[in-house]
Chains A and B, each alone.
Chain A
Amino acid sequence: MLDALAAIRFDWGTVGDFLFDPVIIRALRETVIIAVVAMVLGIVFGLGLGVMRVSRNPAASGFATLYVWFWRATPVILQLLIMYFGLRQVFEADIFRDNWTRWRVAVITFGLNEAAYMAEIVRAGIRSIEAGQLDAARSLGMTNLQAMRRIILPQALRVIVPPTGNEFIAMLKNTSVAFAIGVVELTNAAKIQSARNFKVMELYTVAAFWYLVIVTFFSILQAELERLLAVGERERPETLFSRAMTIMGSRRGG
């Protein structure tokens, strides 16, 4: 057993060398930027789609259902290949040439994919608000859309935010499949470097480290956001930050 431990080949020096390597940091930045932009796209579009899903207008709900069905049924890597290589092959039009860059396609595809999942989350959030709220709003003379915007959605947000945070964290990691169309983000940068120096475990450790860092950072942000939205509740969720505030004697942390 001690022999096995002694035979471990792992060079911490390489980990140190690459931890703050500019190529890795630039790739890390790409990961975050792609994930954030795609998520914004996904949330905005998904919000609209979610509302369309519960709409009584058959055209709206039909389109939304079809959209969600297609974008959830196909794996995101296939979607990337279709959007990038597939469309370029099928259409000779200029729009699919110089402007259809791999970075833009990656962001758009991840965004459209995310919209489908967000639509379902938003729909669940809307459904969680009891029908009485909508009736009350309508009895006050609001249209469905006004009721949705002023009464339903703001309350539905408390149900929507936790899974959305989850989706964002998944998105941060899913960007790694963008390598299929040649986009370099954190995982791929580690892969490329390890192919050159053959120190695979060391480079993967660097990548894993940075994923842990950014996911932890965004998890903390999400916890704070949930706490903010829980104003007025009897049991507000505690976060590390709020507990720290209490310990340090700040009354507002309680």
Chain B
Amino acid sequence: MQPRRLRTRLLLLGALLIAGLLLAAACDDDEEEPEEAAATATTAAAGETPAAAIDISGVSELDDGTLTVGSDIAYAPLEFFEEGTETPAGLDVDLAQAIADVLGVDVEFINSGFDGLIPALNTDEFDIVMSAMTITESRSQEVDFVAYLNVGTGIVVPADNPNNIATLADLCGLTVAVQVGTTQETLVVDQSDQCDEPIDVVTFDTNPLAVEDLRTGGADANLSDFPVAFLDAQESDGALQVIDTQIEPAPYGIAVRQSSTALTAVLEQALQAIRDSGEYDQILATWDLESTALP
């Protein structure tokens, strides 16, 4: 066909394609909203009504009615995706939901790499971080924390424990797989400095990859938070075991921007509310993690 007619037709085709894509994107959003509203309605009705409602009018982050939570959703049983779905589940998810119910808002979990969570929080990517994050001095310089759980480190080793690992000191000279940016990484690096023979610390972006390295023989041990270590051993079909002692228990905290003082205050109130009402203990019991309750 003539050049001008061809060009017009191509332009029309291009415009239709773009319009089609935009329409598809818009349609997807519309479909999601009614579902979310329905979900919130049922949880609000099913949840316990607090004795005294918490005033969130001064909290700017909650003006949109949603508490956005940044989390590395690959850390069962604290946060993980239900098998074959994109639905977050876990202890942190349940606690976040309970807190959001008390505050009268929705909760939305956003998956993000663990080592980038604090920088992302400080650039307003989400309202809070709830990702089994231990409260440490260096982290406290970047963000504020609301303590909500008390957890130690667990060591996972092959089932027959060929290196006879019982304590941190036994890791000297071995290869240890950890997740980047975790307190376990710091723990092992510090231990290595005290060793005669240094520890080969191998870091991965996610903990499951670190466990995989242990499983396939690339590492001699893996360190993670005790509930996670315990579950990894349980689900390994007998290939792995967890050493019985919890190392250096420390509180987990919900991370909040240092400028978000109003949000921190209502979170503390909400947490206290669910502890008073017994819901906190109920949730912990659901996950067999009563031992990690805040003292």
Chain A interface residue number, banded: 20 to 34
Chain B interface residue number, banded: 20 to 34
Once bound together, how far apart are the Cα atoms of A102 and B204, in whole Å?
Answer: 12
Binds A, one of B56-64, B209-217, B223-231, B258-266: B209-217
**In the assembled complex, B246 has its CB within 8 A of some CB on chain A:** no
Q: How many A-B residue pairs have CB under 8 A?
A: 52
> B113 → chain A, closest Cβ, in Å?
9
User: What is the chain B residue whose CB lies nearest that of A198?
Assistant: B142
**In the assembled complex, A195 has its CB within 8 A of some CB on chain B:** yes
Known: A182-B213, A196-B186, A200-B119. Is A84-B180 also a contact (CB below 8 A)?
no
Contact A192 B218 (CB under 8 A): no
**In the assembled complex, A218 has its CB within 8 A of some CB on chain B:** no
**Which residue of B142, B204, B216 is within 8 Å of A88 (Cβ)?**
B216
Chain A residues whose CB sits within 8 angstroms of the CB of B181 once the complex forms = 192, 195-196
**In the assembled complex, A97 has its CB within 8 A of some CB on chain B:** yes
Once bound together, how far apart are the Cα atoms of A89 and B209, in whole Å?
Answer: 13
Chain B residues whose CB sits within 8 angstroms of the CB of A89 once the complex forms = 215-216
**In the assembled complex, B85 has its CB within 8 A of some CB on chain A:** no
B interface with A by C-beta (< 8 Å): 115-116, 118-119, 138, 142, 177, 180-181, 185-186, 202-205, 209, 212-213, 215-218
A interface with B by C-beta (< 8 Å): 84-85, 88-89, 97, 101-102, 179-182, 184, 188, 191-192, 194-198, 200
Please name 28 pairs of A and B residues whose Cβ atoms are closer than 8 Å in the assembled complex, sorted by A: A84-B216, A85-B212, A85-B213, A85-B216, A88-B216, A89-B215, A89-B216, A102-B218, A179-B204, A180-B205, A181-B213, A182-B203, A182-B209, A182-B213, A191-B180, A192-B180, A192-B181, A192-B185, A194-B115, A195-B116, A195-B181, A196-B138, A196-B181, A197-B138, A198-B118, A198-B142, A200-B116, A200-B119
The 9 closest A-B pairs by CB, nearest first: A195-B181, A88-B216, A195-B115, A182-B202, A200-B119, A198-B142, A97-B217, A85-B212, A195-B180
